[in-house]
């Protein structure tokens, strides 16, 4: 029923390569529509794509399902418009073996807006929750053979239509799930499981609330002439995703989506293999992907004659240690890519998940690839024992001078036709094939074509999600970025950006050198979103080079995150070389709210950019820490900034003696210092002999206001930098007002301590101390 017939010109074009490169083991030719067993006529009109309110309750589900259930084998149920009445409104439908569903030209099969008709259990669909997956698909094919969906009409999931009884769309739920790190329960359009020899032909799929087509555990699937049109801003709207399936052909199709245009996956259910993706055009979306799940293996795949125009990614293989497997014998040929942020992206480190299912990519060939615009290139192997194995032949990347290329643990073979892309990096080997010679870039201008006309495929009205300029990061790969630094690199140079980070552990060094960056986790538990590295002064070439997070730009804000340096988790704390910063901040007007800073020696450097050299008139950087936890033992809050710590917990970890601060005001007239207001000083059990501070420079300034001090605080409160060698306590300004708790022993304080009156404490109130010539109000900055 579904043998495919190639046109004469296409057959000639493919004849030479069929033996060597065709991977689907079937003979695939153009499908035909089988004869009708019954024709159903539409009864609903939708002027301008709008359904009358009364029509929303008039579902056609029962009559369509009955027709499918009683259709003669090897025939089709045809849905046909009747003049202006062109809509069939339906809930979930189940396909049958040897029966094809045909949506005729100028006809639309339209999903209901009522979540209740899609419930798996009462109330599970149309919500955002921790679990998700509470909806039945619009169309399901389970354990069927020789079935299909065809026709020149459309299937519209109405992802942009408001749900009945709610003021949100399906796509709004997806966006809410993204920013709250939860899961949306929305219907997918077509889900196939064990649906052997299934055909999608000439059909238009529109506006799915979730994935458009998911194909699992299937032997024989063809998508020919399929058009998928969904806004770029609609989250999790993959085009076609074959998983653990074999003998797959996707051809002559046009895909414009909000997520992976095509993503080939595998699981423990089995491998994905014998896959041909030929003569297609991708527009917006996440490109041509393999993964994230590859633990069943992916192999024997050919992608040939593809354009990728305006997608976020071009050619991508992605997985991680929790769901990885062997990906091999993959060929990409004759591919044109433009206006794509990540043209080539190969990573086995797509998330930070751990496990023993190792992603290994080898025997990957890129042949005759032309990338016309600059972007970011990523070529990563798992480690030195599991390298990326990639052959580049006639690969040309325009604009390399302004592109960013990362390569590590990779073996490259170049040729026989040499392009201009030759990556290099850590543990990278590059070999040139024998008898190689210069190649010629693939001519792409005529290959890029507009999305085809959809005048026979009606579209229902809906709201297109607005452009969201937030940069979403998720360690599980569900965000726009899996790395925070990659998101920072993508932020505008001057205009600022919100970087929203999902809970997880991000093992990387961050550099914030662009102004007006906000880094935030939507989860209020800062301990669930961790940025951590283990650099040290000894290994990094100096204390200020050891920081996990480096903030040099102005107007930075962080909220609900942990910045940690875990050097001492694997190394002893020694007198020299063990300084290990969690955060170094020298930018002005920096705000940290509900941030945990974890380390031991030198946890936080709160500094200014030029005060050590600019002289007494230096304007120190201002920084505001609110409701933070800062942990360490020796000089773990140090520097020459003008910083306020409001309602923070300052926690001492074990050491023979501890020092909370080492402020470094350089000149008596310099306007810098640390103020602790309504803070709590705590310690690990058994920790004693902790000082409020010692002067790193002669004019160190530290003031504690309304602070509760634990018993770990040495009664003297303050100590000389090097007793017997320095005499900086006499010139420093160390002060307290209204200290409480067992560590607030004013009678035993060092005689240089200033015990302030209420009036004397006023200049150190946060709103006064940080105001500056621009009347900065840090609480307002934190709400940007």
Which residues does the annotation mark as catalytic?
259, 286
Q: From CA 152, how far away is CA 632, in angstroms rounded?
A: 67
Q: From CA 518, how far away is CA 469, in angstroms rounded?
A: 12
Q: From CA 428, how far away is CA 381, in angstroms rounded?
A: 9
How far CA 38 is from CA of 4, 73, 101, 150, 717, in Å, comes to 24, 12, 10, 15, 90
Eight-class DSSP state of 465: P
Q: From CA 475, how far away is CA 529, in angstroms rounded?
A: 10
Q: From CA 175, how far away is CA 482, in angstroms rounded?
A: 17
Q: From CA 672, how far away is CA 665, in angstroms rounded?
A: 6
For every residue of 660-722, DSSP letters joined together read: SEEE---STT---EEEEES-EEEE-TT---EESB--SSTT-EEEEES-EE-TTB-TT-B--SS
Nearest to 157 by CA among 188, 192, 198: 188
Helix (H) or strand (E) holding 550: strand 549-551
Q: Which residues pair with 771 in a beta bridge?
A: none
Q: From CA 496, how far away is CA 518, in angstroms rounded?
A: 8
Q: Are 242 and 218 in contact (CB under 8 A)?
A: yes
- Cis peptide bond upstream of 484, omega within 30: no
Supply 289's token pair.
Answer: 């992907």
Q: What are phi and psi of 409, to 5 degrees?
A: 50, 55
Q: From CA 649, how far away is CA 6, in angstroms rounded?
A: 71
Taking the alpha carbons at both ends of the chain, their separation in whole angstroms is: 60
Supply 650's token pair.
Answer: 């300052």
Which residues, 6+ apart, have CB-to-CB distance to 122 below 8 Å?
none
Q: Which residues pair with 263 in a beta bridge?
A: 289
Nearest to 427 by CA among 403, 411, 440, 446: 411
In this structure, the strands spanning 85-90 and 44-45 are antiparallel
Supply 136's token pair.
Answer: 């039945």
Say how many C-beta atoms besides its own lie within 10 A of residue 402's C-beta. Answer: 8
Q: From CA 463, how far away is CA 596, in angstroms rounded?
A: 40
Say how many C-beta atoms besides its own lie within 10 A of residue 783's C-beta. Answer: 11
CA 25 to chain centroid, in Å, comes to 36
Q: From CA 98, how far away is CA 145, in angstroms rounded?
A: 6
Q: From CA 81, how far away is CA 237, in angstroms rounded?
A: 27
For every residue of 499-546, DSSP letters joined together read: EEE-SEEEES-EEE-SSSEEEE-SSS-GGGEEEEE---HHHHTSGGG-
Which residues, 6+ apart, have CB-to-CB distance to 775 below 8 Å?
none
Q: From CA 294, how far away is CA 374, in angstroms rounded?
A: 29
Return the sign of the alpha-carbon dihedral for residues 508, 513, 514, 516. Answer: positive
Supply 99's token pair.
Answer: 């029966």
Say how many C-beta atoms besides its own lie within 10 A of residue 162's C-beta. Answer: 15
Say how many C-beta atoms besides its own lie within 10 A of residue 542's C-beta. Answer: 10
Q: Are 67 and 94 in contact (CB under 8 A)?
A: no
Q: From CA 403, how far away is CA 568, in angstroms rounded?
A: 37
Q: From CA 223, how far away is CA 213, in angstroms rounded?
A: 10
């Amino acid at each position: 029923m579904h043998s495919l017939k190639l046109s004469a010109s296409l057959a000639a074009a493919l004849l030479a390569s069929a033996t060597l490169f065709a991977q689907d083991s079937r003979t695939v030719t153009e499908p035909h529509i089988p004869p009708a067993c019954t024709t159903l006529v539409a009864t609903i009109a939708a002027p301008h794509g709008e359904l009358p309110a009364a029509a929303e309750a008039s579902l056609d589900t029962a009559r369509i399902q009955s027709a499918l259930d009683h259709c003669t084998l090897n025939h089709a149920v045809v849905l046909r418009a009747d003049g202006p009445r062109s809509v069939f409104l339906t809930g979930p439908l189940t396909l049958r073996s040897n029966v094809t569903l045909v949506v005729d030209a100028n006809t639309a099969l339209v999903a209901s807006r009522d979540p209740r008709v899609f419930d798996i259990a009462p109330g599970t669909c149309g919500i955002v929750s921790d679990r998700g997956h509470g909806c039945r698909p619009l169309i399901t094919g389970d354990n069927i053979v020789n079935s299909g969906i065809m026709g020149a009409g459309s299937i519209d999931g109405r992802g942009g239509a408001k749900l009945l009884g709610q003021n949100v769309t399906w796509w709004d739920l997806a966006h809410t799930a993204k920013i709250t790190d939860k899961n949306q329960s929305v219907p997918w359009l077509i889900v196939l499981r064990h649906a052997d020899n299934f055909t999608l032909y000439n059909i238009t799929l529109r506006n799915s609330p979730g994935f458009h087509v998911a194909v699992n555990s299937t032997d024989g699937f063809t998508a020919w002439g399929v058009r998928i049109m969904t806004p770029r801003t609609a989250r999790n709207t993959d085009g076609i995703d074959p998983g653990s399936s074999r003998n797959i052909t996707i051809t002559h199709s046009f895909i414009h989506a909000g997520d992976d245009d095509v993503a080939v996956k595998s699981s423990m259910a089995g491998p994905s293999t014998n896959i041909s993706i030929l003569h297609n055009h991708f527009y917006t979306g996440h490109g041509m992907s393999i993964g994230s799940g590859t633990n069943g293996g992916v192999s024997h795949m050919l992608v040939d004659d593809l354009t990728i125009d305006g997608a976020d990614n071009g050619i991508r293989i992605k997985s991680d240690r929790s769901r990885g497997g062997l990906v091999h014998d993959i060929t990409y040929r004759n591919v044109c890519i433009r206006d794509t942020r990540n043209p080539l992206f190969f990573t086995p480190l797509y998330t930070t998940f751990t496990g023993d299912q190792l992603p290994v990519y080898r025997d990957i060939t890129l042949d005759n690839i032309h990338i016309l615009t600059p972007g970011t290139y990523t070529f990563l192997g798992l480690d030195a024992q599991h390298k990326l194995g990639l052959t580049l032949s006639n690969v040309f990347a325009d604009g390399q001078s302004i592109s960013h290329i990362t390569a590590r643990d990779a073996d490259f073979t170049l040729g026989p036709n040499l392009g201009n892309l030759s990556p290099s990096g850590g543990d990278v080997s590059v070999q040139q094939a024998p008898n190689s010679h210069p190649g010629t870039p693939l001519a792409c201008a005529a290959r890029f074509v507009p999305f085809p006309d959809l005048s026979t495929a009606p579209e229902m009205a809906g709201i297109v999600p607005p452009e969201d300029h937030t940069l979403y990061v998720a360690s599980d790969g569900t965000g726009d970025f899996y790395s925070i630094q990659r998101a920072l690199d993508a932020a505008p140079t001057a205009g600022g950006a919100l970087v929203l980070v999902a809970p997880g552990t991000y093992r990387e060094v961050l550099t914030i050198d662009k102004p007006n960056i906000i880094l935030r986790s939507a989860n209020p538990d800062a301990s669930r979103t961790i940025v951590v590295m283990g650099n040290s002064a000894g290994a990094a070439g100096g204390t200020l080079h050891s920081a996990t997070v480096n903030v040099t730009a102005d107007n930075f804000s962080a909220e609900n995150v942990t910045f940690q340096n875990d050097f001492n988790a694997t190394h002893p704390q020694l007198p020299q070389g063990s300084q290990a910063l969690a955060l170094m901040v020298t930018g002005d007007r920096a705000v940290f709210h509900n941030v945990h800073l974890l380390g031991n020696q030198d946890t936080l450097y709160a500094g200014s950019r030029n005060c050590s050299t600019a002289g007494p008139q230096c304007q120190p950087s201002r920084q505001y820490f609110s409701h933070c936890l800062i942990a360490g033992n020796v000089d773990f809050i140090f520097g020459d900034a003008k910083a306020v710590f409001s309602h923070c917990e300052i926690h001492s970890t074990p050491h023979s003696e501890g020092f909370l601060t080492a402020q470094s005001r350089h000149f008596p007239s310099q306007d810098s210092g640390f103020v602790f207001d309504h803070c709590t000083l705590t310690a690990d059990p058994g920790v004693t002999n902790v000082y409020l501070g010692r002067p790193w420079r002669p004019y160190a300034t530290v003031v504690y206001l309304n602070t509760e001090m634990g018993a770990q605080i040495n009664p003297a409160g303050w100590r000389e930098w090097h007793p017997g060698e320095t005499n900086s306590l006499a010139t420093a300004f160390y002060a307290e007002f209204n200290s409480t708790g067992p560590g607030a022993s004013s009678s035993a304080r060092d005689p240089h301590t200033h015990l302030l009156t209420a009036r004397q404490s006023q200049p150190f109130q946060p709103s006064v101390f940080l105001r500056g010539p621009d009347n900065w109000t840090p609480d307002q900055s934190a709400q940007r």
